[in-house]
Structure 1
Amino acid sequence: MKTVLIIEDNPEIRENTAEILELSGFHVITASNGQQGLAMVTDPVPDIILCDIMMPQVDGYEVIRQLKADPATASIPFVYLTARGEKNEVKLAMDLGACGFIRKPFDAGDLIRTVTQCLP
């Protein structure tokens, strides 16, 4: 069973996303902000990370920067979940190493497809 770490500050979105993934056979762990997500990324090491961009304390861009800088976490597939989606934001996300970009609101099929495509 693949483990997904969801880093999302909105509790409703975090819980709904987790439920969709759990119903699709994934093991899900969640963090309510970037700082908490970074602290949770090593035990257990997730197979993929879904992360919001705009969060208090540590935003999604800083989360991926820190993960990609650490050899222990650099290869974990990373997908942004965001309500924003301007071209420059998508480009920055991909330049930082994200393998996917999901715009909120999203449907369950798009979520599962993107997660499945990004998993090794």
Structure 2
Amino acid sequence: MHHLPDPERAKPCILVVDDDETIAWAIAGRLGPDFRVVGETDPARAVERARDEQADVILCDIDMPGMSGDDVAFAISQDPATAGIPFLYLTGLVSPDEVPEFEGVFGEHRTLSKESPTELLREAVGDALGLPRD
């Protein structure tokens, strides 16, 4: 008998790279049933995990022990299999109100506060995926 495709695998995959595992769980809850959210707590494994999971978007913390978000962004950009994946910073370093002041400070990647409203988070992921806005 043939196996049916896994409907979870058909959803866009969001890879959350953060040294705090609860952040990935929180993001999964906030993005709801429309996305498949996977977490990686070891930033050094981000490229491998992005490749293995066939990530469609990467949300990455900036301030992590051992490897910064900038280091992860660079590593992602250097691997042909992951270089085209949209990359967004997700940080607790700034509040949602401060994000516009930091535009471009963390590089070319869009920056979101971990405290951003769920609607803004969903909008940013949708924009990165090229989805039309409702």
User: TM over 0.5, yes or no?
Assistant: yes
Shorter-chain TM range is 0.7 to 0.9
Cα distance in structure 1, aligned partners of 2:14 and 2:114: 18
The alignment partner of 2:30 has SS state of helix
- TM-score normalised per structure 1: 0.84
Which residue number in structure 1 is paired with residue 5 of structure 2?
none
Summarize deviations over 1:11-35 as a string: whole Å, max 9, x none: 33221112222x2410111101311
- TM-score normalised per structure 2: 0.76
**Cα pair 1:4 1:47 within 8 Å, conserved:** yes
Match of 1:11 among 21, 32, 39: 21
Summarize deviations over 1:60-115 as a string: whole Å, max 9, x none: 100001111222211100010012247785414333xx2x2101212111110000
Aligned residues: 116
Which residue number in structure 2 is paired with residue 56 of structure 1?
65
Cα distance in structure 2, aligned partners of 1:81 and 1:11: 14
Q: Which amino acid aligns with 1:13?
A: I
RMSD (CA atoms): 2.0
**Cα pair 2:18 2:61 within 8 Å, conserved:** yes
Larger Rg: 2
- The within-5 A match list for 1:105-120 is 105-120=115-130
Residues 1:70 and 2:83 are matched in the alignment: no
**Cα pair 1:52 1:81 within 8 Å, conserved:** yes
**Cα pair 2:47 2:79 within 8 Å, conserved:** no
Which residue number in structure 1 is paired with residue 56 of structure 2?
47
The offset of 1:57, in angstroms, is: 1.4
In structure 1, runs of 5+ residues without a counterpart are none
Cα distance in structure 1, aligned partners of 2:56 and 2:16: 11
Which residue number in structure 2 is paired with residue 91 of structure 1?
104
**Cα pair 2:21 2:40 within 8 Å, conserved:** no
State the structure with bigger RCO (CA 8 A, min sep 6), 1 or 2: 1
**Cα pair 1:30 1:37 within 8 Å, conserved:** no
Cα distance in structure 2, aligned partners of 1:69 and 1:35: 13
In 2 relative to 1, CA 17–51 (structure 1 residues): closer, same or farther, beyond 3 Å?
same
The offset of 1:59, in angstroms, is: 1.2
